[in-house]
C-alpha cells in the first residue's frame, strides 16, 4: 500500500526541519510575539444604496428597511433585496492601508501550510493503513 503523504510527513520529521520550525514557533510565543496576517479588506454591515453617514436603509437580513433613491438615481423600495450587499447584509470594504491581524491558525496548521502537508490526506492514509492491517489479521 502506498502512503505518499505519510511518507512525506515522516521524511520532514526525520530531517529535523519540523522540530526547527516548532522550536521557532514556541520561541516566538515565549517572547510574546504574535504571528499576523495582512488584512487589505474588512467586512462591514451594509448601510444600503445611497446611504450617507448616520443613515441606514439596509437591514441585517439584506432587505431594504425603507424606500430610497440610490446613488445611481434608481428608486429602491422597502422589502427589496439590497443592491449593495445583494441580500447578505454585509459589504467588503478595501482598506487604504493594510492592517496586521493576529492569525487564528494553530501552530499545527501553520506547520502543515509551511510544509505543504494535507491533514485530510494524512488521516485518510492512516485509516486506509489501519484497515489494511486489520484485514491481514
Which ranges constitute the DSSP H helices of 84-118? Answer: 107-115
d(CA 62, CA 88): 5
Domain count, the chain: 1
- With respect to residue 70, please indicate whether it lies within any of the assigned structural domains: yes
* Contact by Cβ (8 Å): 62, 89: yes
- With respect to residue 41, please indicate whether it lies within any of the assigned structural domains: yes
- With respect to residue 55, please indicate whether it lies within any of the assigned structural domains: yes
- With respect to residue 124, please indicate whether it lies within any of the assigned structural domains: no
- With respect to residue 27, please indicate whether it lies within any of the assigned structural domains: no
Per-residue model confidence as pLDDT tens digits over 72-84:
788 888 888 988 8
Residue carrying C-alpha cell 443592491 = 83
- With respect to residue 47, please indicate whether it lies within any of the assigned structural domains: yes
pLDDT surpasses 90 at 28: yes
d(CA 102, CA 63): 33
Q: Residue 75's CB: how many other CB atoms inside 10 A?
A: 11
Residues spanned by the domain of 65:
35-103
The whole model's pTM is what? Answer: 0.64
For position 125, what pLDDT does the model report? 94
**Closest by alpha carbon to 13, among 120, 105, 122, 103?**
122
Amino acid at each position: 500500500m502506498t502512503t505518499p503523504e505519510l511518507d512525506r510527513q515522516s521524511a520532514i520529521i526525520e530531517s529535523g526541519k519540523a522540530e526547527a520550525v516548532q522550536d521557532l514557533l514556541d520561541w516566538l510565543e515565549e517572547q510574546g510575539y504574535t504571528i499576523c496576517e495582512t488584512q487589505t479588506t474588512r467586512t462591514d454591515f451594509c448601510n444600503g444604496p445611497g446611504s450617507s453617514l448616520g443613515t441606514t436603509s439596509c437591514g441585517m437580513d439584506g432587505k431594504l428597511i425603507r424606500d430610497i433613491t440610490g446613488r445611481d438615481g434608481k428608486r429602491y423600495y422597502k422589502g427589496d433585496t439590497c443592491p449593495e450587499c445583494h441580500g447578505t447584509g454585509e459589504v467588503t470594504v478595501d482598506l487604504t492601508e493594510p492592517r496586521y491581524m493576529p492569525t487564528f491558525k494553530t501552530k499545527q496548521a501553520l506547520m502543515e501550510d509551511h510544509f505543504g502537508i494535507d491533514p485530510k490526506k494524512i488521516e485518510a492514509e492512516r485509516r486506509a493503513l489501519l484497515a489494511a492491517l486489520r484485514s491481514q489479521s
